[in-house]
Amino acid sequence: MDKAAKTLKELCQLDYDAIEAYEEAIKRLDNNDIASTLTKFKGDHEAHIRHLNRLLSSRGEKSVDGPDMKRFLTEGKVIIADLMGDKAILAAMIANEKITEKSYKEARDVDELTMEERTQLTQHYEDEKRHKEWIESARESLKD
């Protein structure tokens, strides 16, 4: 497996991890408006998985069908944050989104990517930036 295929697989696993973290956050949030927006963001991650698996398939690689072991770290941040309320949950989600945003940003520089793959990763990167910025704003708007 070349570096591009490995990168696409890792990103796919990361999106599965993100979905699990979103699910944990959504069910723990008291603010229904924030939970509703996070549900939409979770949908973006589900779309990322479909796109990445399509790219992997076009390379003749096996699709990714679930998260890797990192999921315990992302879920754990949200579960621990639940003890402290919505602001803490959103802080955990910001930390998760920073990881995802950085991963997509760096992945775009893999030389072996096709133009189509690079374009798709750039779109996903833009989604991650938007998610992180919105969650940061939502967290700032909450009262202590």
80-92: per-residue pLDDT in tens? 666 688 998 999 8
Domains, the chain, with CATH or none: 3-141 (1.20.1260.10)
Q: Which residue has the tokens 């927006």?
A: 37
Minimum mean pLDDT range among 34-38, 77-81, 105-109: 77-81
**Rounded distance, CA 37 to CA 131, Å?**
9
Residue 3 has pLDDT above 80, yes or no: yes
Average pLDDT in the chain? 91
Residues 6+ apart with CB under 8 A from 107: 7, 10, 11, 113, 121
**Rounded distance, CA 141 to CA 62, Å?**
43
R_g (Cα) of the chain, nearest Å: 15
Mean pLDDT of 40-48: 98
